[in-house]
């Protein structure tokens, strides 16, 4: 049986880091380079009713990831996310609002891998 290569690490990422303006911080690049998956948060300019529904869907995904042992972090933020996460029993994960791509890469790259969190005897293969 082959080893499961997924990192079991997911970043909830504000839209401004998924669709950065010219010269902005590319959260997708930082996540991919450090072995993280990404769930995009709704853009700040979405109507409240739409954003609330999308945030609840993000929260449900985050709860599913958390239940299966994934490490979750928040990059940036989004008004209403804390309430959506609370509805599914989750607190806001450790977060960063990075000032540079290097800072974001160091934050993501500095978190322990799945193997380090679980120990070598508990890694699924």
Q: Per residue of the chain (125 residues), what is the pLDDT tens digit?
A: 444 455 799 999 999 999 999 999 999 999 999 999 999 999 999 999 999 999 999 999 999 999 999 999 999 999 999 999 999 999 999 999 999 999 999 999 998 765 555 554 444 43
Q: Could you tell me the pTM of the whole model?
A: 0.87
DSSP annotation string for 71-108: EEEEES--TTHHHHHHHTT-PPPPEE--SSHHHHHHHH
Rounded Cα distance, 47 and 103, in Å: 31
Rounded Cα distance, 112 and 9, in Å: 10
What pLDDT, on the 0 to 100 scale, is given for residue 7? Answer: 76
Q: What letter does residue 123 receive in the DSSP assignment?
A: -
- Exposed (0-12), middle (13-18) or buried (19+): which is 97, by Cβ within 10 Å? middle
Residues 6+ apart with CB under 8 A from 39: 10, 11, 12, 13, 58, 61, 62
What pLDDT, on the 0 to 100 scale, is given for residue 14? Answer: 98
Write out the H or E segment, with its range, that includes residue 53. helix 48-67
User: Across the beta sheet with 9-13, what order do the strands follow?
Assistant: 37-40, 9-13, 71-75, 95-96
């Amino acid at each position: 049986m082959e080893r499961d290569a997924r990192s079991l690490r997911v970043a909830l990422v504000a839209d401004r880091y998924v669709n950065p303006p010219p010269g902005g911080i590319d959260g997708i690049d930082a996540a991919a380079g450090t072995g993280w998956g990404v769930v995009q948060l709704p853009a700040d300019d979405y109507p409240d009713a739409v954003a609330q529904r999308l945030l609840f869907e993000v929260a449900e995904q985050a709860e599913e990831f958390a239940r299966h042992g994934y490490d979750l972090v928040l990059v940036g933020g989004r008004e209403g996310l804390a309430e959506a996460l609370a509805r599914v029993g989750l607190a806001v994960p450790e977060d960063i609002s990075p000032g540079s791509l290097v800072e974001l890469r160091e934050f993501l790259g500095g978190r322990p891998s799945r193997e380090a969190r679980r120990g070598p005897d508990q890694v699924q293969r």
